Amino acid sequence: MKRIIALIVVAIMMASLVIPSGAAIIITEESADKTADSTAVYVVEEEYTVTVPDALYVGNVLGANITLNANRNAGNTVVVTVSSENGFKLNGEEDLAYELKANRVKVSEGGVVLQTTGMEAVTAILVAVWAEGCSAPEAAGTYTDTLTFTVTAA
Q: Which pLDDT tens digit goes with each residue over 3-22?
A: 777 667 666 655 555 455 56
Q: What span, in angstroms and rounded, lies between the C-alpha atoms of 153 and 117?
A: 10
pLDDT digits (tens, 9 = 90+) for 106-125: 999 999 999 988 788 899 99
Mean pLDDT, residues 77-81 taken together: 93
| Under 8 Å between Cβ of 68 and 128 | no
Q: Which of 5-19, 28-42, 72-86 has the highest mean pLDDT?
A: 72-86
Q: Which residues of 83-117 are buried (b: 16+ CB within 10 A; e: fewer)?
A: bbeeebbbeeeeebbbbbbbeeeebeeeeebbebe
Within 10 A of 145 (CB to CB), how many other CB atoms are there?
21
**β-pair type (147-153, 105-107):** unpaired
Q: Residue 135 half-sphere exposure, CB side, CA atoms within 13 Å?
A: 3
Q: Which of 79, 52, 69 is nearest to 146 (CA)?
A: 52
- The fold adopted by the segment(s) 47-153 is Immunoglobulin-like (2.60.40)
pLDDT greater than 80 at residue 23: no
Tell me what pLDDT residue 16 has.
53
Residues 6+ apart with CB under 8 A from 85: 145, 146, 147, 148
Q: Which of 57, 69, 73, 68 is nearest to 147 (CA)?
A: 57
Tell me what pLDDT residue 43 has.
83
Mean pLDDT, residues 10-38 taken together: 70
Mean pLDDT, residues 76-90 taken together: 93
Percent of the chain with pLDDT over 90: 46
pTM of this prediction exceeds 0.85: no
